[in-house]
Amino acid sequence: MAIRNRRGQTNRTDYGELVEVARLYFQTGATQNDIADNLKIPQARVSRLLKQAEDENIVQHVIIPPPLRRLESLLMRELRGKGVRDTRVVPKGIGDSAAKNEDNLGIVTAEYLVDAILDHPGDTVSLCMSCGNTLLAVVMQFIDFLRRNSDVLEALKQKTLLLYPLSLYWEPTLQFNIDSEYPSTSIYPSALVVYLAMQLMTLGCKVIAHAPQPPLDFYREFDDMSEDEQGRQVTKYSSYLDQAKSADIFLLGVGTGQHDARYGTVLDELGIDLTEQFAEDEGMAGEIGYQPFDPKGQFVHFSKLIAVTGEELAALSQNNTKIIATLGGEQKIPALRALLQRDQLPFNVLVTDEAIASIVDRDPAQTW
């Protein structure tokens, strides 16, 4: 699909609409008229999208086929003992696959998130989010899903959504064009919270967004502070996330860590040096919310990195808090394998793709 926005990026909204039309028609048996009425689009567009779905093999690869249901069952069986309560397996990307893979993960995770929010009792639901490309895809597909499903949007309007970042990071700008389909920067934590909040408010939803940022001087001057002053500053900024730690739902992306140039830039800007903790290139397996972990899934904590910690997430995952981790692609296998060395995972719902889940199918005894 070659629709591009002015930045040259594939139009994720059109792709989401394409998948939704195909899913409604081929999976639920809805008529073209029903789909047009439900999505508020002309029937001629529905017909064109269905033809496109067949031409691009969307029906075969994206509308969840039975083999993926089997992989979900296998994955659930493997991970139940680790505290995982639910799994979703997404097809591998097709076409220009890297973007499509994120889109597929975004679509499935967004729909799971919608259900989690609407199923939560009470009028107020709090959501704490990490960051990254995959979570940006989730946010965009979440908004797109609401735009295409008026009944779901109306149900969401009955709730107040509280938004928090999982970690704090000095971000040079939180400026967005509210009319733009894409955020002007930025997949950093507070920026993603602000972007989601702005989009939800344009749809008429009730949102309270918390997007605090320590000043840049906090990071630049931290190592020169006395130990007492460091403690006071950390306590001050950690209090920004006190409410985030009590969120009803967490949404996590899992990064590859030092193999990601963007993550290296973040560490440089925060003045964090990992060479002592991870002397060898293979020593760091991945990161969640900028918090690195080793091949045994153990998180390394830095005082100046203000976040809901990996250990706190692991403790929260044992109660009724829904903690959704979404990741895909073979490059993420070492990170997931490391986390699965832990006795208690920092998540209890896993949305992943065929590339990762199929490892269980190939050799379940040696998987992790």
Residue 4: the pLDDT is 28
State which residues form the domain around 359. 65-366
| CATH number of the structural domain spanning residue 17 | 1.10.10
> Are residues 122 and 243 both part of a single domain?
yes
> Are residues 11 and 154 both part of a single domain?
no
| CATH number of the structural domain spanning residue 358 | 3.40.50.1360
> d(Cα 21, Cα 35) in Å, to the nearest integer?
7
Angle at 191 between CA 188 and CA 194, to 5 degrees: 150
- Count CB atoms within 10 A of the CB of residue 364: 13
Among residues 63, 81, 110, which one ends one of the domains? 63
> Are residues 228 and 323 both part of a single domain?
yes
> Are residues 235 and 261 both part of a single domain?
yes
> Are residues 105 and 7 both part of a single domain?
no
pLDDT digits (tens, 9 = 90+) for 122-162: 999 999 999 888 899 899 989 988 998 888 999 999 999 99
> Are residues 4 and 92 both part of a single domain?
no
> Are residues 69 and 184 both part of a single domain?
yes
> Are residues 17 and 95 both part of a single domain?
no
For the full predicted model, state whether its pTM sits above 0.85.
Answer: no
Among residues 19, 44, 63, which one ends one of the domains? 63
What count of residues does the chain have? 368
Among residues 21, 36, 63, which one ends one of the domains? 63
> Are residues 247 and 99 both part of a single domain?
yes
Question: Which pLDDT band holds residue 360 (cuts at 50, 70, 90)?
Answer: low
Number of domains in the chain: 2
pLDDT digits (tens, 9 = 90+) for 292-337: 999 999 998 888 889 999 999 999 999 989 999 999 888 888 899 8
pLDDT digits (tens, 9 = 90+) for 162-217: 999 999 887 654 444 444 454 444 578 888 998 999 999 999 999 999 988 888 88
Handedness of CA 145, 246, 298, 292 (dihedral sign): positive
> d(Cα 194, Cα 199) in Å, to the nearest integer?
9
